[in-house]
Structure 1
Amino acid sequence: MTDTIDTLAKLVSFPTLATGPNLDLMGWLQTRLTATGARLRVMPGTDAQRINLWAMLGPEGPGGIVLSAHADVVPVAGQAWSSDPFALTEREGRLYARGAVDMKGFLAGMVTAAEKARRLPLTRPLHLLVSHDEEIGCVGVRPMLRALADERFQAAACIVGEPTDLVIATGHKGKLAARIAVRGRAAHSANPGLGVNAIGIAAAMVAEVEGLAAWLAAEGVRDAAYAVPHGTAQVGTIQGGTALNIVPAEAELAFEIRFPAGEDHAALLERLRARAVLVAGARGGEIEITVTNLYPGLAEPEDSPAVTLAAAAGGRRAFTKLDFGTEAGLFREMLGLPSVVCGPGSISRAHKPDEFITRDELAAGDAFLGRVVESLV
């Protein structure tokens, strides 16, 4: 436990904000894991300032286990923290810092698991994969997974350690993010009929996204295992116009669709594009919809090797499915790797001021990962 907390204290001291550099943290992690006897490879990331890491202990072979964590965190700007978010601070058994629960606590436990693995006669490999830029749509892990797929990487199972209170999550929703660009025609606001108001068209598209959300709630694929048992859609940002006395010629909005397994996200997008054609035709403007990010959901069978592994290691079999996305769906899609999400702490504390994980949760996480490692002997 002391080792895990000390490791966590070091990890949170690196302000690895999503889209920012992570070389300092990854360099420290390389040194730390090399000391455990792990063989390391720096894996491709999205650019030279953001890398991924692959560490392996034990023999070569296809039957190993993957433990996966992302090292990036969300910003703290504008949040009222009671202590320095990048210095681990303990109060009454709670360990506060940005990333403490999401998900550097699990990453610290992975380092402790590597220490345990070095002392055991492993007959199958333990793989530790650390990614970047998960928080902006599971972006950073993809170059690493593409490289592993090209190498025909194989393993028996993967555990992605997002915080689930160690409940085994067999599913999570996928997400499609897109941008709607609207072009109208500028004119003096004294005679707005001479122009085409792009903001008005954008407002009509907001209504279309809300209509899609209502359809998903009433008619879409349903799965009672989710807290929100259907797909969702919402507009997150909108911009447009230059001055009050100018009919705006341009506007832009961003929206997302989150969907459970079995929902045809491509059909949902085409449905919205068809509505956009009608809106543009009726109002005389132009509408372009561009997908900016897409990651798959996860639907892991309950008899999967990953579920069996997590359950045997002490993961709680009160199976759940997550409304938020994780990298597990990409491990499944890109590598064909049986995957579950299971980690210490609660996601309800993530992305907030005074984010924390408890000593007891870290201890439970260490015990869980210790049994995972022992299964490789």
Structure 2
Amino acid sequence: MSGIEVEEARLRDLFWSLVEVYSPSGKEEAVLAYLEEFLSEQGCPYGVQPVDENRYNLLLGNPDAPLVFVGHVDTVDAWDLEDYGPAEAEEDWIVGLGTADMKGGCAAIVEAYLGLRAEGLGRAVGVALVVGEEEDGDGADAFLAEFRPGRALVAEPTDLVLCVGHYGYLEVQIAATGRRAHASVPQRGQNAAERLLAGLSALTRAPLFSGAGGEGPVLNIRHLETTNPGFAVPARAVAWVDVHVPPEIELGSVREAVSAALADADGLEVEFVTEDPGYRLREDDPLVEVYRRVGRGGVGAFRSHSDANRFHRSGVPAFVLGPGRLEFAHAEGERIRWGQVVEAAALYRALGRAYGAACGRTGV
């Protein structure tokens, strides 16, 4: 971003330290303590918003501002507790758990806010560093129980494309029942795992889901388990299935497709555990106009589930914009380009300055 200064050394130290601190969802205390220490060293005031007995959100600036930047400090569980990063790789890449999702975004938000505060714009925007996004979203829920900003900008990895659309999400639990028997005589029982697998096979072949990766709903079988241990035919088996739904498609039609695909399978129980509709915001929204005015181009749709769904459901227009690529999130070898983290910090600062000025809010 031409003309926008970023203290790159400070940003690098912050980002590197955030990735070094292991912070799986529900166990964010250490990374929160580090952030408090960092902010104190910078002379930057912050607020603490309790979420549960040990966990809390960190708030900067004005949480009811016209624009609040939102980042989650938690990650999924590490794939290797002995080696989860960070580490430098070739061609400007930094590898490590949470680099793309979304400690790169969090570091860029904080750096942008420090720059805005130095300009006297510390109350023009807000920052919410929340916990719990990778599990039940309790950090975002706590924030929204108390505050209603004008707009939210969620720093999930979008390759720095502003997402005005957001996919919806269905979490489906499918359970199969059978009859237990000794594993050496399976014909004397009814294998719940086999029933479940037959149902899942039918589901993946359903016309609505057979084109995964295109413009239709995206189905993922996330977890499978049987409930009885030992050398036996399982009497119960359970699967959890994720369905990400483009904003133009109603969740009701997807529920019907899931139910229809499983209708002929024996012994299955289907429960829709989580339902979050997708949405699409107006491309002539003032924030989109500011985004284009500071030198950016097209817009897109975020293909996953995020805290933005919660903000939107609570009546806060929620856009998604962050460094990194979604395809690297939650994956072994998660990575981000360092240059894009720097670019994100400059972009956030430019957006905060321009949008804050447009809304007429200043102050420290």
Please report the TM-score for the alignment, with normalisation by the length of structure 1. 0.79
Give RMSD over aligned pairs: 3.2
Superposed, 1:343-362 pairs within 5 Å as 343-362=322-341
SS in structure 2 at match of 1:117: helix
The answer as to 2:177 corresponding to 1:166 is no
SS in structure 1 at match of 2:298: strand
Q: How far off is 1:342 after superposition? A: 1.3
Range with bigger deviation, 269-278 or 318-327: 269-278
Equivalent position to 1:231, from 217, 223, 228 = 217
Structure 2 unaligned blocks of 5 or more: 1-7, 358-364
Residue 325 to residue 193, structure 1, CA distance change in 2 (3 Å): same
2:303 aligns with: 323
CA distance in 2, matches of 1:39, 1:242: 49
Q: How far off is 1:238 after superposition? A: 2.6
1:147 aligns with: 145
Residue 266 to residue 372, structure 1, CA distance change in 2 (3 Å): same
Superposed, 1:224-303 pairs within 5 Å as 228-240=214-226, 246-273=232-259, 276=262, 278-280=264-266, 285=267, 287-303=268-284
What amino acid sits opposite 1:67 in the alignment? Answer: F
Cα offsets for 1:80-107 (capped at 9, x unmatched): x9xx534454755433332222211121
2:197 aligns with: 203
C-alpha contact (below 8 Å) 1:65/1:127 kept by paired residues: yes
Residue 87 to residue 166, structure 1, CA distance change in 2 (3 Å): closer
Equivalent position to 2:151, from 146, 157, 167 = 157
Q: How far off is 1:127 after superposition? A: 1.0
Residue 6 to residue 178, structure 1, CA distance change in 2 (3 Å): same
Residue 208 to residue 51, structure 1, CA distance change in 2 (3 Å): farther
C-alpha contact (below 8 Å) 1:156/1:305 kept by paired residues: no
Structure 1 unaligned blocks of 5 or more: 219-225
The answer as to 2:77 corresponding to 1:97 is no
C-alpha contact (below 8 Å) 1:74/1:135 kept by paired residues: yes
Equivalent position to 1:25, from 15, 23, 31 = 31
Superposed, 1:335-374 pairs within 5 Å as 336-374=315-353
SS in structure 2 at match of 1:166: coil
Cα offsets for 1:290-343 (capped at 9, x unmatched): 3343434231221123322333344x3222223222222221112x22222112
What amino acid sits opposite 2:208 in the alignment? Answer: W
Q: How far off is 1:128 after superposition? A: 0.6
SS in structure 2 at match of 1:207: helix
Superposed, 1:76-91 pairs within 5 Å as 76-78=78-80, 84-87=83-86, 89=88
CA distance in 2, matches of 1:358, 1:193: 55
Q: How far off is 1:2 after superposition? A: 1.1
Equivalent position to 2:47, from 29, 40, 43 = 40
Cα offsets for 1:341-365 (capped at 9, x unmatched): 1122333333344433334212211
Residue 357 to residue 270, structure 1, CA distance change in 2 (3 Å): closer
C-alpha contact (below 8 Å) 1:185/1:197 kept by paired residues: yes
C-alpha contact (below 8 Å) 2:203/2:262 kept by paired residues: no
C-alpha contact (below 8 Å) 2:291/2:351 kept by paired residues: yes
What amino acid sits opposite 2:299 in the alignment? Answer: F
C-alpha contact (below 8 Å) 1:97/1:356 kept by paired residues: yes
The answer as to 2:57 corresponding to 1:52 is yes
Q: How far off is 1:69 after superposition? A: 0.9
What amino acid sits opposite 1:232 in the alignment? Answer: V
Residue 305 to residue 331, structure 1, CA distance change in 2 (3 Å): farther
Residue 311 to residue 181, structure 1, CA distance change in 2 (3 Å): same
C-alpha contact (below 8 Å) 2:65/2:126 kept by paired residues: no
Residue 195 to residue 261, structure 1, CA distance change in 2 (3 Å): same
Residue 51 to residue 288, structure 1, CA distance change in 2 (3 Å): farther
SS in structure 2 at match of 1:135: coil
1:310 aligns with: 291
CA distance in 1, matches of 2:91, 2:184: 64
What amino acid sits opposite 1:140 in the alignment? Answer: D
C-alpha contact (below 8 Å) 2:251/2:277 kept by paired residues: no
What amino acid sits opposite 1:96 in the alignment? Answer: V
CA distance in 1, matches of 2:187, 2:15: 61
Range with bigger deviation, 1-10 or 185-194: 185-194
Residue 354 to residue 185, structure 1, CA distance change in 2 (3 Å): closer
2:74 aligns with: 72
Q: How far off is 1:259 after superposition? A: 0.8
CA distance in 2, matches of 1:352, 1:91: 18
